[in-house]
């Protein structure tokens, strides 16, 4: 698993990356009551809005940590948005993206680096 | 952004000790939520008793030879007719009938009029009252007083165990009572739609009373996040969002705040506009919307009719924990304000179906004496 400074994670399997938000981000958001996942086939560039997570109070964008095409979205979140709080780094994933450029994720942090980064916040 | 340092209420340390997430709000550092989170705090208040620190709000005493009559010059409420022991919801109006703020005015004792106004408006409100009513009234701001709200179906049992006379109050009644070793003002009122109380007490004992009430297992601390979702479900407007200086009481659905006697006399600010609107010449009105499908519609979202034409805007909205659906308030023309009217809201470019529904979204459970 690799991490961004915006608290997204990706898990790469071949040329497909699963994207979610970290436990830290889920805790900061508070109770998630609605999740908007991307449409299949949507082509994302790094930094595009990949999903929207809504708490009782506010809506927050989840940004694409990698570029590529959305090949699967976690539709189960529509009926169970709380999964993002319960299992943010597992069943609470948002989408799977076919990587346009495998090289780009090399700039992301590993868990040790991400945890060190959290320590600076 | 202002560089003015944020103020703290007398309960700041108590909030931090409880693990609150503190955020800037109306110039104060306030708890938006505690460890349980907004959903859990919201539900606890509906089922048990929630304790809120609302000491950021503006409390004052208005005194003078005839403070009730004087106060009627800046509000449309019947304050001359306000009996001792009663509390009234009212509005400060500008000369165009726009709402400068909403407020509570009460007579807990014989010491003039006790006022509570919104935190974000308080400096301006009190200055305005002083200027407009110069020579008639004196305002004493109760900056040395905290304000606690205890809300929910178990609030009365909790408070009556410590302040027995609290049980004798009905909804919108207020009294100065001897409690916690001093004098406090207890009002049976609130901003959640539940039965409950607001307690004004000296800062010096605020932390002690806060801890005492939290010591009751029926009570949990509730932050501003749940305060907002609770008042939204209760259909209560939030000043600065659902009402502002351009919005009249009639548009805001607050016609009840224009007291009958004042309506007939026409002696309040903005009378000509308000009279015209009462006679049916109304361009917009605040409605409740239930989101039938899709994301919560937040403040600023456009409301469209069946043809796709923009007919209004959402002024506050979010997720209703009680109804498990998104709800909102917004302004639309009266012809589209009937309960059941199908409309749409635009959220992130997508049109989502909504329906006009009656407010409150969740029934009020005030304690009214028969």
**Residue linked to tokens 């208040």:** B45
Q: Choose the mutation target among B20, B35, B38 for the interface with A, i.e. most A CBs under 10 Å.
A: B38
Average pLDDT, chain A: 94
Tell me the pLDDT of chain B averaged across its residues.
Answer: 97
Q: Is B225 within 8 Å of A59 when comparing Cβ atoms?
A: no
Give me the residue from A30, A58, A59 closest to B33, CB to CB: A30
> In the prediction, which pLDDT does A106 show?
73
Q: Chain A interface residues facing chain B, Cβ-Cβ under 8 Å?
A: 30-31, 33-34, 36, 52, 54-59
* Residue B203: predicted pLDDT: 98
pLDDT digits (tens, 9 = 90+) for A2-19: 999 999 999 999 999 999
Per-residue pLDDT, averaged over B343-353, amounts to 96
Contact, A99 vs A12, CB < 8 A? Answer: yes
Peptide bond into B260 cis (omega under 30): no
Neighbour order of strands in the sheet with A16-21: A2-3, A8-13, A16-21, A95-99, A68-73, A43-44
With a cut of 60, say whether residue B15 has pLDDT above it: yes
| B318: closest chain A residue by CA | A56
Specify the pLDDT at position A57. Answer: 82
Residue A105 pLDDT exceeds 80: no
Say if the Cβ atoms of B318 and A57 lie within 8 Å.
yes
Q: How many CB pairs under 8 A join A and B?
A: 43
Chain B partners within 8 Å of A54 (Cβ): 295-296, 319
Q: Is A29 helix (H, G, I), strand (E, B) or coil?
A: helix
Residue with tokens 């929910």: B152
As a whole number of angstroms, the distance between CA B282 and CA B276 comes to 8
Span B321-338, mean pLDDT? 97
Instruction: Grade residue B2 by pLDDT with cuts at 50, 70 and 90.
Output: low
Q: Is the pLDDT of residue B48 over 90?
A: yes
- Cα(first)–Cα(last) distance of chain B, in Å? 50
What's the CA gap between B229 and B38, in Å, rounded? 8
Which residues, listed in sequence order, are joined to residue A11 by a DSSP beta bridge?
A18
| pLDDT at residue B1 tops 70 | no
Q: State the pLDDT at residue B369.
A: 86
Q: Which residues in chain B are closer than 8 Å to A36, comparing Cβ atoms?
A: 295, 348
pLDDT bin (cut points 50, 70, 90) of residue B184 is: very high
CA torsion angle B327 B328 B329 B335 (round to 10): -80
Give the pLDDT confidence score for residue A17 in this predicted structure: 95
Mean pLDDT of B302-312: 97
Q: Residue ranges of the alpha helices (H) in chain A? A: 23-29, 83-86, 111-119
pLDDT class for B3, splitting at 50, 70, 90? low
Shortest CA distance to B71 belongs to which of B237, B239, B262, B252?
B262
Find the distance separating the first CA and the last CA of chain A, reported in whole Å.
21
Specify the pLDDT at position A104.
75
Q: Are A34 and B298 inside 8 Å of each other by CB?
A: no
Are A56 and B32 within 8 A, CB to CB? no
Percent of chain B whose predicted confidence (pLDDT) is above 70: 99
Residues of A in contact with B225 (CB under 8 A): 30, 56-57
pLDDT in tens, B101-130: 999 999 999 999 999 999 999 999 999 999
Interface test with chain A among B46, B227, B233, B295, by most A beta carbons within 10 Å: B295
Q: Is the predicted pLDDT of residue A1 greater than 80, yes or no?
A: yes
pLDDT in tens, B226-281: 999 999 999 999 999 999 999 999 999 999 999 999 998 999 999 999 999 999 99
- pTM, 2 dp: 0.95
Q: What percent of chain A has pLDDT over 90?
A: 90
Give residue B53's pLDDT band: very low, low, confident or very high (50, 70, 90): very high
Interface test with A, best of B37, B301, B317, B324 (most A CBs within 10 A): B37
Across the range A18-44, mean pLDDT stands at: 96
Cβ-based neighbours of B99, under 8 Å, separated by 6 or more: B91, B92, B93, B239, B243, B244, B245, B247, B248, B249, B252, B254
- Are residues A34 and B319, on separate chains, in Cβ contact within 8 Å? yes
Nearest CA in chain B to A85: B37
- Average pLDDT of the residues in A78-100: 96
């Amino acid at each position: 698993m690799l991490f961004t400074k915006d608290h997204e994670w990706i898990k790469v399997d071949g040329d497909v990356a699963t994207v979610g938000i970290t436990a830290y981000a889920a805790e900061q958001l508070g109770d998630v009551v609605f999740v908007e996942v991307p449409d299949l086939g949507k082509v994302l560039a790094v930094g595009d809005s990949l999903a929207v997570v809504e708490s009782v109070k506010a809506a927050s964008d989840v940004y694409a940590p990698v570029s590529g095409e959305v090949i699967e979205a976690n539709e189960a979140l529509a009926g169970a948005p709380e999964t993002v709080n319960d299992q943010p780094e597992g069943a609470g994933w948002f989408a799977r993206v076919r990587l346009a450029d495998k090289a780009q994720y090399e700039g992301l942090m590993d868990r040790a680096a991400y945890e060190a980064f959290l320590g600076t916040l | 952004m202002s560089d003015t340092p944020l103020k703290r209420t007398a309960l700041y340390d108590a909030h931090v000790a409880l693990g609150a997430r503190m955020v800037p709000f109306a110039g104060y550092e306030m708890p938006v939520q505690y460890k349980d989170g907004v959903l859990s705090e919201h539900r606890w208040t509906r089922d048990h008793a929630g304790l809120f620190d609302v000491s950021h709000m503006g409390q004052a005493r208005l005194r003078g030879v005839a403070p009730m009559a004087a106060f009627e010059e800046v509000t449309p409420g019947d304050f001359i007719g306000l009996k001792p022991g009663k509390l009234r919801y009212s509005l400060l109006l500008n000369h165009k009938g726009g709402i400068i703020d909403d407020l509570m005015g009460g007579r807990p004792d014989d010491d003039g009029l006790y006022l509570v106004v919104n935190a974000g408006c308080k400096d301006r409100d009190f200055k305005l009252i002083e200027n407009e009513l110069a020579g008639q009234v004196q305002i004493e701001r109760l900056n040395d007083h905290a304000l606690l709200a205890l809300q929910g179906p178990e609030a009365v049992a909790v408070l009556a165990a410590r302040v027995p006379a609290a049980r004798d109050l009905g909804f919108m009644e207020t009294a100065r009572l001897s409690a916690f070793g001093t004098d406090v003002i207890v009002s049976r009122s609130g901003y959640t739609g539940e039965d409950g109380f607001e307690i004004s007490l000296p800062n010096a004992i605020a932390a002690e009373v806060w801890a005492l009430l939290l010591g009751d297992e029926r009570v949990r601390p509730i932050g501003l996040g749940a305060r907002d979702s609770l008042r939204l479900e209760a259909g209560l407007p939030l000043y600065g969002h659902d009402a502002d200086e351009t919005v009249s009481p009639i548009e805001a659905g607050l016609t009840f705040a224009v007291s009958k006697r004042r309506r007939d006399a026409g002696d309040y600010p903005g009378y000509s506009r308000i009279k015209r609107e009462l006679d049916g010449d109304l361009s917009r009105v605040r409605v409740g919307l239930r989101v039938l499908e899709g994301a919560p519609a937040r403040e600023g979202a456009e409301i469209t009719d069946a043809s796709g034409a923009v007919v209004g805007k959402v002024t506050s909205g979010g997720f209703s924990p009680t109804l498990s659906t998104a709800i909102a308030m917004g302004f639309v023309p009266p012809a589209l304000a009937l309960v059941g009217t199908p409309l749409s809201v635009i959220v992130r470019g997508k049109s989502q179906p909504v329906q006009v529904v009656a407010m409150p979204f969740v029934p009020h459970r005030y304690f009214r004496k028969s």
